Amino acid sequence: MSAPRADNAPMALTPRSSPASRSLLRALWFAGGALSLLAAFVGVLLPLWPTVPFLLLALLCFSRSCARCERRMLEHPRWGPLLRDWRAHRAVPLRAKQWATVTMAVSSFAAWWVLSGPQRWLPAGACALVAVWLWRLPTRPPSS
């Protein structure tokens, strides 16, 4: 029988993970980050495909797998300030909310114009849900 622990803390019920399983987990996080980053790049090109949520997901994945990739995302000249602001304040700048709403409205109208039948309302419905979610997030006041 083993001696009781001096700090009276309960012993872990699960064994510590092996280096191989930690390596596999890091690889899975890295793959998730790479796929999320790819999805964000698609979002830059396609008007109805979101960009920022995939960037945030990629940042999360890289923070758990690759410090270099995380640092590169945070230092990116275009997306870095938005990502750093999200990480620091969990808020979205007013200008970003306005820009996202306008582009979603224009994209929804374009989809309505091109599509026919009842599916022509699907993009507008999806964008409306995203807009509600976006505007419920805290707004970051402009920095002075």
- Burial of 123: CB neighbours in 10 Å, binned 0-12, 13-18, 19+: buried
Find the range with the poorest average confidence among 19-28, 45-54, 89-98, 123-132: 45-54
Angle, CA 128 vertex, CA 125 and CA 130 arms, to 5°? 115
The mean pLDDT of 73-77, rounded to a whole number, is 96
- What is the 3-state secondary structure of 5-20? CCCCCCCCCCCCCCHH
What is the pLDDT averaged over residues 84-90? 87
d(CA 60, CA 74): 11
Range from 15-19, 37-41, 42-46, 102-106 that averages highest in pLDDT: 37-41
* 144 vs 82: which has the higher pLDDT: 82
CB 131 within 8 A of CB 92: no
Cβ contact 55:73 at 8 Å: yes
- The domain limits of the chain are 22-90, 93-144
